[in-house]
Structure 1
Amino acid sequence: MSSPNPQHFRALVLHGAKDLRLSGELQIAIRVTGLCGSDLHYYQHGRNGDFIMRAPLCLGHESAGTITAVGTDVEDFQVGDRVALEVGFPCTSCGLCIEGRYNICRSLRFRSSAKTFPHLDGTLMELTNHPFDKCHKLPAHISDVQSALIEPLAVCMHAIRRSNPPDAESVARALSATRVPEETAALIFGAGAIGMLLTAALAATQHFSTLVVADIDEARLRIAASLPFPLEKIRTYLLPKPASEATPQAEAEADLAQQILSAFCLPNGFSRTYDCTGVASCIRMGIYATGPGGAVVQIGMGGAAQPNIPLSAAALREVDLIGVFRYATRGYPDAVALMGSEKFQGVAEKVATHFVRFEEGDRAFELAAKGVDEQGKPVVKVIVVSGTRFER
């Protein structure tokens, strides 16, 4: 661009031989970017699972900002609008894309991922161009803090949709009963940012009468318990930290799953278990803790191989194993709507625990990697802040 802050700009993009078109892009001054677990993997190891960096890569994909320029072929946006950036670019024409499942398009490219080469740079930058159809306008009452959490909340909204949770009538029947029926109880493994946002989304959308959050970190569980919902709605369970096993692994995990069920008087199991950790032991416990006809929803990303998953324990009770990968077509619109709703107020302030200036990038990553700050307080989500204006 010839000018850092033009009011309008035009760019010719080659789509094929002799096929030059005006690009439908917006120029955006990034205000906030949340750090994701994948960002940390790249920062610490130069790779995220099987995706290995082959060239310098700008990280970050949980971003929101303010439009500073609008392509002349773009409608419905203007300079000054605040937007959240959806950073997956599918082919748009395959069967999966047409079904609205662009997240598993075989040709998908994703900003900040080393899966494809040349890599597509992320959004942890001060100024970026982005396709207008992947920008979601934010209402004025959504704060900068809330806007930084739209992307991970979109993951949660997609997970809820995939899990086909109980309807409102089932929950109403449970609330009028003397005890909580299993079909309206859900278990969430992991009290990180995704786990807390998922718990809040499930509480706000009232798909379950009881939510149990399990984690090995007591401080994070205290934050989860303090989410702005009725105390009887969100319960917590402190898992034992990994140690040398005196009993066989499968037996120990089955026993622990039974202990969780006993603690909440759910002898027949949870209706849905959402694993936000990717840890193999949690996946196994989730299968054991889920009741017949229920589902284990896999959100957290673990290693490439997850050994000794008790598939027979799932198959014999028809417990469905449901994979979740990022978000599909409805993820962002649903996330923006929920984040801006009255029933979700106060959630973002619990999840976004630390804020670091753009110029202190190294500190932001180190803080996220350690999991606790200099005062010993738990780190749930680190937000990198750009520019001079920032509204919590």
Structure 2
Amino acid sequence: MSSNTSTATATAVVAHAAGDLRVESIEVPAPAAHEARIAIAYGGICGSDLHYWSHGAAGESILKAHMILGHEIVGTVIDGAADGTGPAAGTRVAVHPATPGGAGARYPEDRPNLSPGCTYLGSAARFPHTEGAFATIVNLPSRMLRSLPEGLSLRDAALAEPAAVAWHAVSRAGDVAGKRVMVIGAGPIGALAVAVLKRAGAAEIIAVDMFDKPLEIATSAGAIATLKATDAEAIAAVEADVVIEASGNHRGLASAVRGSVRGGRIVMVGLLPSGEQPALISLAITRELELVGSFRFNDEIDEVIAALADGTLDVSAIVTHEFDVNDALGAFEAARNSAESGKVLLKF
């Protein structure tokens, strides 16, 4: 518990507009009673961060004002929440960046990730925007914080949030033990899905990508075979029981349909652009394929942290680059080059 009401100065990574990324000094206000003050150690660059930098928007979430980026973060509590909730000062933590809620469309109560008003750190989906946590010091609601077990380093825990996205996607596939699974798109989420699938007992994991480096990472994570995304004939011959579509491209979805066994299930975790997309619906119908969406995660981050701590989930191959926060632009350039990078971390 803390009674700290002081302001602080921090170094933050801020998107001002398309192509305008700045590392600048910000003022961190006094935390609210339910907030803890965190010293951020690492932050992973996500595809949404790249989109805000490159395009000034992530899908239909458009930058209308400058915004601190980042939601894949870990750090150490400087001051615990004044109301006594959450971990105490000195605790190393990962962060669940979602705030479920909002009235409007109905959704299953046990799936708060689908709540219509759900907000996420570093998101321009609403205005005022939800500030992110790519900063040396941040205030966060104590309910977002997950204490890390002894023996799990902050650097390894930096992948907890994206690994939870992959974990949720694999859970949407059902029981994968003993099955043949194809993962289309071997970027960070696809490669993490490979690692989660391996832990879940998939018998065969085949990774598909355009580039050699992501396929090398996927192999290290547990894929037993790899295919180039351009090899349509080989992809169609896989006949996977389950396909994880992680490319976020309509051509990847077409490959998923063609490469699925009749009666198979396709989990769509790669977020396609908004609006209508071409899809092989007729083939999906005649093969009785199940197309299942997967969006963010709920409490799977807790299972991920436990699996990282006990060593049953090995994500050591996923991180390929680490940059100091003052070289954030170099980090974003590296992350944008999907042919040569996996997960890129900022060190704070």
Contact 2:217 2:342 (8 Å CA) reproduced: no
- Could you tell me which of 293, 297, 300 is aligned with 1:331? 300
Matched residue, 1:341? 310
RMSD over aligned Cα, in angstroms? 2.2
Matched residue, 1:25? 35
- Could you tell me which of 229, 249, 262 is aligned with 1:239? 229
1:72 and 1:189 map into 2 onto residues whose CA distance is: 46
Q: TM-score w.r.t. structure 1 length?
A: 0.78
What are structure 1's unaligned runs of at least 5 residues?
13-22, 172-183, 241-255, 373-377, 387-392
Matched residue, 2:118? 108
Report the secondary structure of 1:117's partner residue.
coil
Is 1:369 aligned to 2:336, yes or no? yes
Q: State the Cα deviation string for residues 307-350 of structure 1 (Å, max 9, x = none).
A: 3301121122220111111112x2211211222222324x23x1
Output the amino acid matched with 1:259. A
Output the amino acid matched with 2:65. A
Q: 1:95 and 1:48, CA in 2 relative to 1: closer, same or farther beyond 3 A? A: closer
1:163 is displaced (CA, Å) by: 1.4
1:117 and 1:316 map into 2 onto residues whose CA distance is: 44
Contact 1:74 1:132 (8 Å CA) reproduced: no
Matched residue, 1:359? 326
Matched residue, 2:169? 159
Report the secondary structure of 1:199's partner residue.
helix
Q: State the Cα deviation string for residues 332-380 of structure 1 (Å, max 9, x = none).
A: 11211222222324x23x11110100111111112212346xxxxx211
Q: 1:214 and 1:385, CA in 2 relative to 1: closer, same or farther beyond 3 A? A: same
- Could you tell me which of 274, 282, 293 is aligned with 2:252? 282
Q: 1:210 and 1:306, CA in 2 relative to 1: closer, same or farther beyond 3 A? A: farther
1:66 and 1:100 map into 2 onto residues whose CA distance is: 30
Structure with the larger helix share: 1
Matched residue, 1:212? 206
In the TM superposition, what are the counterparts of 1:28-43 in structure 2 within 5 Å? 28-43=38-53
Report the secondary structure of 2:320's partner residue.
strand
Q: 1:313 and 1:31, CA in 2 relative to 1: closer, same or farther beyond 3 A? A: same
Output the amino acid matched with 2:241. S
Matched residue, 1:381? 343
Matched residue, 1:245? none
1:98 and 1:290 map into 2 onto residues whose CA distance is: 29
Matched residue, 1:225? 219
Q: 1:258 and 1:370, CA in 2 relative to 1: closer, same or farther beyond 3 A? A: closer
Q: 1:270 and 1:58, CA in 2 relative to 1: closer, same or farther beyond 3 A? A: same
Contact 2:208 2:226 (8 Å CA) reproduced: yes
Structure with the larger strand share: 2
1:72 is displaced (CA, Å) by: 2.8
Q: 1:38 and 1:95, CA in 2 relative to 1: closer, same or farther beyond 3 A? A: closer
Contact 1:156 1:194 (8 Å CA) reproduced: yes
In the TM superposition, what are the counterparts of 1:78-97 in structure 2 within 5 Å? 78-91=88-101
- Could you tell me which of 239, 259, 269 is aligned with 2:234? 259
Q: 1:97 and 1:10, CA in 2 relative to 1: closer, same or farther beyond 3 A? A: farther
Output the amino acid matched with 1:221. L
Q: 1:308 and 1:91, CA in 2 relative to 1: closer, same or farther beyond 3 A? A: closer
Q: State the Cα deviation string for residues 278-313 of structure 1 (Å, max 9, x = none).
A: 111110110111112211111111211353301121
Contact 1:188 1:212 (8 Å CA) reproduced: yes
Matched residue, 2:12? none
1:58 is displaced (CA, Å) by: 0.5
1:164 and 1:46 map into 2 onto residues whose CA distance is: 36
Output the amino acid matched with 1:351. I
Q: 1:53 and 1:95, CA in 2 relative to 1: closer, same or farther beyond 3 A? A: closer
Identity %, equivalent residues:
29
1:159 is displaced (CA, Å) by: 0.6
Report the secondary structure of 2:296's partner residue.
coil
Q: TM-score w.r.t. structure 2 length?
A: 0.87
Matched residue, 1:294? 264
Matched residue, 1:71? 81
What are structure 2's unaligned runs of at least 5 residues?
10-28
Contact 1:30 1:125 (8 Å CA) reproduced: yes
1:285 and 1:117 map into 2 onto residues whose CA distance is: 37
Residue correspondences, number: 325
1:288 and 1:239 map into 2 onto residues whose CA distance is: 12
Q: 1:11 and 1:41, CA in 2 relative to 1: closer, same or farther beyond 3 A? A: closer
Q: Which of the two has higher C-alpha Rg?
A: 1
